[in-house]
Amino acid sequence: MALCKTKEDADKVRKWSTQAREAAPWYQHEELGYNYRISNVIAGIVRGQFVHLQEHIDQKKVVYERYKEGFKDLPVQMNPYIEGVMVPNYWLSSLIIDADAVCPQVRSESEALYRPEAGKSCPTEILEIMMKYNAEDRPIWKPIHMQPIYRSHPFVTVKGSGRAKTNAYIAGEAVDAGRDIFNRGLCLPSDIKMTEEEQNLVIEIVKRCFA
């Protein structure tokens, strides 16, 4: 508990104690925040769900496979894994648009704009149309090195160390993999309570974006 003299101080403490998120479509941080929101009730619910863990993973796999089948003719790929080597939990189904199928898109720290183009799409277009259908999907998490609080810090790329403002491509090759995935990817509705009809609607919406 914090005792504050002003509403401004209370709002600031409340922001710091709930991850210090900024007003943006993605997770955006200009200040260091914390997360104290888990309660004994939530912890008890989590413990109770452990006995159903494998059942939930199996249901999540069905969601993932249905998306993968539904998007097989689109220039996208589902969050990949190496079969026979990796065993995913399928907890969140995400897609990444092929680099040559992304329509023009620009993003500031808190906003995004795009220009529609036939046969192409981008995360911003898909997210905006999904919102009209009250379908909850989100951008893929914004990498730590792209966050305003860390923008001046060095980070590691496939080409060695770099800076947040470094060009993401060298001779057409993605160097800053995190930035590239953020720019081309989004998280799809993945709740196990989602009906097959609801998921089919999500698939149809994404297909229309590439029409």
pLDDT 10s digits, 85-126: 998 999 999 999 999 999 999 988 888 999 999 999 999 999
Q: Read off the DSSP letter of residue 190.
A: -
> Which of the listed ranges 48-52, 143-147, 152-156, 184-188 does the model predict with the highest average pLDDT?
184-188
For 56-102, the three-class secondary structure string (H helix, E strand, C coil) is HHHHHHHHHHHHHHHCCCCCEEECCCCCCCCCCCCCCCEEEECHHHE
Instruction: Tell me the C-alpha distance between 179 and 123, whole Å.
Output: 13
Per the listing, tokens 């898909």 go with: 126
DSSP-based three-state secondary structure for 116? coil
Using pLDDT thresholds of 50, 70 and 90, give the confidence band for residue 21.
Answer: confident
Higher pLDDT, 158 or 7: 7
User: What phi, psi does 196 have (nearest 5°)?
Assistant: -65, -35
pTM over 0.95: no
Note the pLDDT of residue 174.
55
Note the pLDDT of residue 109.
86
User: For residue 166, is pLDDT > 50?
Assistant: no
Determine the angle formed by the axes of helices 123-132 and 196-209, rounding to 10 degrees: 130
pLDDT 10s digits, 36-45: 767 888 889 8
Cα–Cα distances (Å) from 105 to 4, 69, 124, 211, in that order, read 43, 27, 8, 17
Strands 173-174 and 154-157 turn out to be unpaired
Using pLDDT thresholds of 50, 70 and 90, give the confidence band for residue 170.
Answer: very low
Using pLDDT thresholds of 50, 70 and 90, give the confidence band for residue 167.
Answer: very low
Q: Which domains does the chain have, with CATH numbers?
A: 1-37 (no CATH), 53-209 (3.90.1150.10)
Q: What is the average pLDDT value for the chain, to the nearest integer?
A: 87
Instruction: Tell me the C-alpha distance between 100 and 179, whole Å.
Output: 16
* Residues 127 and 133 sit within 8 Å (Cβ to Cβ): no
pLDDT 10s digits, 48-87: 888 999 999 999 999 999 999 999 999 999 998 888 899 8
Mean pLDDT over 158-179 rounds to 58
Per residue in 106-126, is it b (16+ CB within 10 Å) or e — as a string?
A: ebeeeebebeeeeebbbbbbb
Using pLDDT thresholds of 50, 70 and 90, give the confidence band for residue 151.
Answer: confident
Instruction: Tell me the C-alpha distance between 58 and 89, whole Å.
Output: 8
Using pLDDT thresholds of 50, 70 and 90, give the confidence band for residue 163.
Answer: low
Instruction: Tell me the C-alpha distance between 119 and 159, whole Å.
Output: 32
- Say what percent of the chain tops pLDDT 70: 91
